[in-house]
Amino acid sequence: MEFEQLYKSYWQKVFRLCMGYVNDYDIAQDMAQETFIIVWQKLHTFRNEASIGTWIFRIASNNCLRQIDKEKRFPKSELPMHITEEKHYSLEPQILFLYKCVAELPEIDRIIISLELEDVKQAEIANIVGLSEANTRVKIHRIKEKLTQKFKENGQ
């Protein structure tokens, strides 16, 4: 599998997953890059047992979870606050609100819903996260309910 090819076809998806996890453009960009660095390093170990998509999403979501460790080491307050604000806010408020809501969910739910919204099959989501398919289905349903409710409360 050609790395460049993967990079092109999966960058957006991985970025959105990270963005749903942290809701911070710059951190998400960094996390997506880290993911592809790992993909680059590990690509030779990929054995076709899973689809390449599942494989990449596993790395990406594990990297998100690893973020907990890093947050502790570099508390957000220590990061420079200025530069971040401008570029991405041409987006509609509804989109911003969706990402904000997702990032407020419990960690595993963030990953599950991001993958669902990315059109990853539920069986594959179960495989990435390590839950049963039935559980995954239930979770997705509940998360969607929660999101719908938040949107309604917010009058979106």
Partner 1 sequence: MDNNIDFKDLWKQQAVSPPNIKELLSKLKYFKRVSLRKLVITNVLLIATSAFIIFIWYFYQPEFISTKIGIILTISAMLMYLFVYNKLVGFYKTVDRTQSNSEYLQKLISIKTKQHFLQSTMLSLYFILLGSGLCLYMYEYTSRMTIFWGIFTYVVMLGWIGFTWFYLRPKEIKKEQARVNGLIAKFEAVNKQLSVNE
Q: Which residues bind partner 1 (CB under 8 A)?
A: 4, 7-8, 11-12, 15-16, 19-20, 29, 33, 36-38, 40-42, 45-46, 55, 58-59, 61-63, 65-66, 68-69, 72, 88, 91-92, 94-95, 98-99, 106-109, 111, 114, 117-119, 127-131, 135, 138-139, 144-145, 147-148, 151, 156
What is the SS3 assignment for 17-76?
HHHHHHCCHHHHHHHHHHHHHHHHHHHHHCCCCCCHHHHHHHHHHHHHHHHHHHHHHCCH
Of 47 and 82, nearer to partner 1 (C-beta) is 47
CB of 65 to partner 1, least distance (A): 6
Tokens of 143: 């998360």
3-state SS class at 12:
helix
Secondary-structure percent of the chain, ordered helix, strand, coil, rounded to 5: 80, 0, 20
Q: How far is the CB of 82 from partner 1 (least distance, A)?
A: 20
* Residue 130 C-beta: closest distance to partner 1, Å: 3
